[in-house]
Amino acid sequence: MNYRHLYYFWSVAKTGHLTHTAQQLHVSQSALSSQIKQLEEWLGQTLFEREGRRLKLTQAGYIAKQYADRIFAEGQSLVEQLKQGKTSQTSVVRIGHASTMSRNFVEQFIASLMSPSPQPFRLHSMSTHQLLTELAEHRIDIALANTDVAGHDEDIWQSRLLARQPVSIIGVPGLPIQSLSDPALKERAWVLPPTSAPLRSGFDMLATQYQWAPRVIAEADDMAMLRLLARDGGALAVIPDVVVKDELDSQRLQRYVTLPNLFEQFYAITIKQPFQHPWLSRLLARYD
């Protein structure tokens, strides 16, 4: 497609006058008419019909103008971002989050995007390794993770601690558990994060200290799955309170003991770049 032809069509479509538009574009009326005619021939559709002294869009012309509106709006956005360093407030915010993260925390993070005037956004769930790859290749604007960035790319990644959530022993209501030294914790069935998770190492130290001898019946690196296993399977779980907020409020699960010095940490990871989405600073300002 010849985009000059499309631009001439778009300009005439906005005014409805060939002569006035030719004057604005500093071209002759015949040249402008010829350019639009070539576009019509290329598309195989008539875009205008004459109504008195005005040009009225046909149905095909109306459809073409809708596309042209978006095309040239994106072109203006491109100029503003690359030449003037501005990013459109209405451009989509692309958020990646670790598949192991609490969905409740993610929902809290994006809450301001949904009201009072919704801001378009996309959520992508993936592994932490994939998050860093997507950031490096500019396919997402920000990554949410429950582990800090490690490695040799400190000059690239910008990692920020957003929150530390307490971690508790969670189970179905009615169990005779009141403290870490309660005999009811010994030899019980547990669902736990895998041994590679920081929460698991903290739990294992407490289990050794209090001689719980836990019977681990399942491991999952997905907090949502641990929540379901605790709720529907009857086993005890070690879960951040935010993960089971709804179940605690509805009393389908009960918080028995908050574990000392054990927290789930949530990070926002971005990449150093000259063109940052304007909404990022607003999302992160809530955690200042």
**Is the confidence at residue 87, as pLDDT, over 70?**
no
In a domain, 109, yes or no: yes
Sorting pLDDT into bands at 50, 70 and 90, what band is 145? very high
3-state SS assignment for residue 251: coil
Sorting pLDDT into bands at 50, 70 and 90, what band is 41? very high
Which CATH number belongs to the domain containing residue 183 in this structure?
3.40.190.10
Task: Read off the pLDDT of residues 263-277 as tens digits, 9 standing for 90 and up.
Answer: 999 999 998 776 778
In a domain, 270, yes or no: yes
Contact 220, 193 (CB under 8 A): yes
In a domain, 288, yes or no: no
Q: Which two tokens stand for residue 133?
A: 């790859």
Q: What is the mean pLDDT of the chain?
A: 88
Q: Which two tokens stand for residue 14?
A: 């906005």
Task: Read off the pLDDT of residues 178-214 as tens digits, 9 standing for 90 and up.
Answer: 999 999 898 889 999 999 888 899 999 999 999 999 9
In a domain, 42, yes or no: yes
Q: How far apart are CA 163 and CA 284, in angstroms?
A: 11
Sorting pLDDT into bands at 50, 70 and 90, what band is 101? confident
Longest dimension (CA), the chain: 94
Model pLDDT, residue 116: 75
Residue 139 belongs to domain spanning: 91-161+265-283
User: How many domains are there within the chain?
Assistant: 3
Nearest to 14 by CA among 73, 75, 56: 56
Model pLDDT, residue 86: 59
34 with 157, same domain: the answer is: no
Domain boundary residue among 82, 114, 149?
82
